[in-house]
Amino acid sequence: MITRSKLVDQLRDYQIRSHHKWAKLTIFSPKPNLKQICVCRTDVNVARLLALLFGALVISSYVSLHYRYFRISIIIIAFGILLPTCLKISRKVRLARKRERRLLLPLSM
């Protein structure tokens, strides 16, 4: 017989598993809520695309260093460093806007 406590345990286990499902992509997600349960496919696809772009930048910087194109390698490494930092800054800006909108709502809501 299925009891309420068993259902609660199953739901908790499901939430824990789905919480860690996309943990590796949180670095490259443009939105800060990639760890939540209802994740849009577009958010995950954008995070995957940015992760692939970062990987391509790393590989191309290695190749350019191997062929001794130091200026091109420095430019590629700079883009590789700027990509995660810009994403982190944009996430913080979105969270700040979201907090600001919440503060503007009347207290009765």
Q: What is the pLDDT of residues 63-95, one digit of tens each?
A: 999 999 999 999 999 999 999 999 889 888 888
Give the total number of structural domains in the chain.
1
**Positive or negative: CA dihedral 97, 98, 100, 106:** positive
**Positive or negative: CA dihedral 73, 79, 81, 83:** negative
The whole-model pTM stands at: 0.67
- Domain residues for the domain of 100 are 4-104
- Residue 23 located in a structural domain: yes
* Range of lowest pLDDT (10-14, 75-79, 97-101): 10-14
* Local confidence band at 100 (pLDDT 50, 70, 90 cut-offs): confident
- Residue 109 located in a structural domain: no
Give the CA dihedral 31, 51, 13, 15, nearest 10 degrees. 10
Residue 57 neighbours by CB under 8 Å, 6+ apart: 76, 77, 79, 80, 83
- Residue 43 located in a structural domain: yes
